């Protein structure tokens, strides 16, 4: 499934070639930093632009901090005026708002689904109904817009369930509930307190799935697709998969749970019917389809959720592992010319450890100076991607978000990559910094 090749370092090694393509990356977080890092290596890329980008991306891209990712008019104007040949949309919110539609109306090749197709992530209820229509395996569920009806339903449940805000909640609108009392607290927080705003006006309550969670990716041009490597994210805040759901506390790739048999089941039962179903319903899916799956003890996959963009922090290890031309792959998909017989080659294993602010994913302070970045990046095979940082007065960096850094390392095995990532992370300090200490431990247990 995965082609092995050796990589000694994780640094940028731009291939020879005369690039003529201008690429605009929309967004400014850790995922976009990793995508920009990889796109800048393409022999066909003349320049990478980023809107808004970040101070950490300035060495790789021409950043436009005055252009917000959510300002569709400004992003479209920037792409048009700069002669951009390909736009890669990082976050989900602009896609759900129709950014890809606007850019395509301007004749600009765009990697990212239409607003109609982005409903796969934008509405959990839509995604569930879609899966039912196309026979895609997923947990049983009920959707509610009335709090009292939802409370009555969970009160009748015997055991665990999962409560999800229907709309976009930056990956944090999911509550793993061990009891009806837990579910009641989650429902009141989502629907009554509106922790996630309008995203919580409707909820989806699902059966609890048992197994091992995995992230699977396919690049699609609306009809054909090419698969990427599987990865595993760590959503819960604390070691041992305890605590609240977050945007992701770390990730690693490859994911050994996805062997050849499991992968073929994922393709036949999930990816192919999803791409085919979206086309049949009049909304061809162009972009990266990110499927969050639960694989049970028999190796059977069920869909937990769809995402309509690259995952964060899974993108970080995927990009440092990936061999070849990312820009070429995304451009052919955006232009409807993807070669389904092509494949992506992968290097060594990679692990990303997220350093987060104290209090994340709820209340946290920012503006804390960060030290040790240069020492961490001097380590063999290490790249530090910035998720929530900004320049401070002395020219260094300070914290500016909940998830601050994604310390990512290559290694000949997941264990070796993990050791490098944690050794590098230990060199970085800022007030309140914390991380999980068990990223990729499940992979080590399988070896």
Q: Given a cut of 90, is residue 420 above it in pLDDT?
A: yes
Split at pLDDT 50, 70, 90, the class of 447 is low
Cβ proximity of 25 and 308 under 8 Å: no
Q: Kindly tell me if the per-residue pLDDT of 6 is higher than 80.
A: no
Domain locations in the chain? 21-112, 146-201, 212-446
The pLDDT tens digits for 38-76 are 999 999 999 999 999 999 999 999 999 999 999 999 999
**pLDDT band per the 50, 70, 90 thresholds, residue 17:** very low
d(Cα 43, Cα 46) in Å, to the nearest integer? 8
Token digits for 81?
């005026």
CA dihedral 163, 169, 171, 175 (to 10 degrees): -20
Quote the pTM value.
Answer: 0.90
Position 18 scores a pLDDT of 58
If residue 119 lies in a helix (H) or strand (E), which one and from where to where? helix 119-122
State both tokens at 208: 């609890």
Question: What stretches of 246-388 show up as alpha helix (H) in DSSP?
Answer: 260-266, 272-280, 315-321, 326-334, 373-377
Same topology for domains 21-112 and 212-446, yes or no? no
The whole-angstrom separation of Cα 98 and Cα 111 is 13
What's the pLDDT at 446? 66
Q: So what's the architecture of 21-112 in CATH?
A: 3-Layer(aba) Sandwich (3.40)
Q: Give 174's pLDDT tier (boundaries 50, 70, 90).
A: confident
Band (pLDDT 50/70/90 cuts) for residue 340 is: confident
pLDDT band at 16 (very low <50, low <70, confident <90, very high): very low
Are 160 and 129 in contact by the 8 Å Cβ rule? The answer is no
The rounded distance, in Å, linking the Cα atoms of 325 and 305 is: 28
Burial class for 20, CB neighbours closer than 10 Å (0-12, 13-18, 19+): exposed
Query: Is residue 316 very low, low, confident or very high in pLDDT (cuts 50, 70, 90)?
Result: very high
Tokens (6 digits) for 214: 């995995």
- Mean pLDDT of the 214-229 span: 96
Architecture of domain 212-446: 2-Layer Sandwich (3.30)
Q: How far is CA 214 from each of CA 38, 130, 262, 294, rounded to the nearest angstrom?
A: 23, 21, 11, 6
Inter-residue contact 226 to 219 (CB < 8 Å):
yes
* 209: Cα within 13 Å, side-chain hemisphere: 24
**Is the pLDDT at 114 greater than 80, yes or no?**
yes
CATH class given for the domain over 146-201 = alpha beta
Distance CA 229, CA 4 (A): 12
Contacts of 195 (CB under 8 A, 6+ apart): 189
The mean per-residue pLDDT over the stretch 398-416 comes to 97
Neighbouring C-beta atoms of residue 281, cutoff 10 Å? 13
């Amino acid at each position: 499934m995965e082609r092995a090749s050796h990589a000694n370092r994780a640094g940028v090694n731009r291939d020879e070639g005369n690039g003529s393509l201008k690429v605009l990356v929309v967004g400014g977080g850790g995922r976009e930093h990793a995508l920009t890092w990889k796109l800048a290596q393409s022999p066909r890329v003349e320049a990478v632009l980023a809107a808004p980008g970040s101070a950490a991306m300035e060495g790789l891209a021409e950043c436009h901090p005055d252009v917000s990712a959510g300002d569709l008019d400004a992003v479209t104007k920037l792409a048009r005026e700069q002669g951009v040949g390909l736009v890669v949309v990082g976050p989900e919110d602009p896609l759900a708002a129709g950014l890809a539609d606007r850019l395509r109306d301007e004749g600009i090749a765009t990697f990212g689904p239409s607003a109609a197709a982005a409903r796969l992530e934008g509405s959990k209820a839509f995604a569930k109904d879609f899966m039912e229509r196309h026979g895609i395996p997923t947990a049983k569920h009920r959707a509610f817009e009335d709090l009292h009806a939802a409370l009555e339903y969970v009160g009748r449940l015997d055991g665990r369930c999962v409560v999800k805000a229907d709309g976009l909640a930056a990956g944090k609108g999911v509550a793993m509930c061990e009891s009806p009392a837990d579910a009641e607290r989650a429902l009141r927080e989502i629907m009554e307190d509106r922790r996630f705003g309008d995203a919580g006006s409707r909820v989806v309550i699902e059966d609890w799935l048992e197994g091992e969670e995995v992230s699977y990716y396919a690049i699609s041009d609306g009809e054909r697709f090419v698969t990427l490597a599987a990865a595993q994210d760590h959503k819960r805040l604390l070691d041992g998969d305890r605590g609240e759901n977050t945007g992701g506390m770390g990730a690693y790739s490859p994911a050994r749970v996805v062997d050849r048999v499991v992968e073929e089941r994922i393709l036949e039962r999930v990816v192919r019917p999803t791409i085919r179903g979206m086309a049949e319903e009049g909304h061809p899916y162009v972009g990266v389809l990110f499927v969050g799956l639960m694989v049970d003890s028999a190796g059977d996959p069920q869909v937990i959720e769809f995402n309509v963009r690259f995952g964060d922090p899974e993108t970080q290890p995927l990009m440092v592992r990936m061999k070849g031309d990312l820009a070429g792959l995304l451009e052919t998909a955006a232009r409807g010319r993807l070669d389904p017989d092509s494949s992506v080659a992968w290097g060594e294993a990679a692990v990303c450890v997220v350093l987060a602010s104290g209090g994340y994913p709820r209340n946290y302070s920012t503006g804390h100076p960060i030290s040790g970045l240069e020492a961490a990046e001097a380590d063999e095979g290490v790249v530090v991607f910035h998720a929530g940082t900004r320049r401070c007065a002395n020219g260094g960096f300070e914290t500016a978000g909940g998830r601050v850094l994604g310390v990512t390392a290559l290694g000949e095995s997941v264990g070796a990559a993990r050791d490098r990532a944690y050794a590098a992370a230990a060199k970085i300090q800022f007030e309140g910094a914390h991380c999980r200490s068990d990223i990729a431990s499940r992979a080590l247990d399988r070896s």
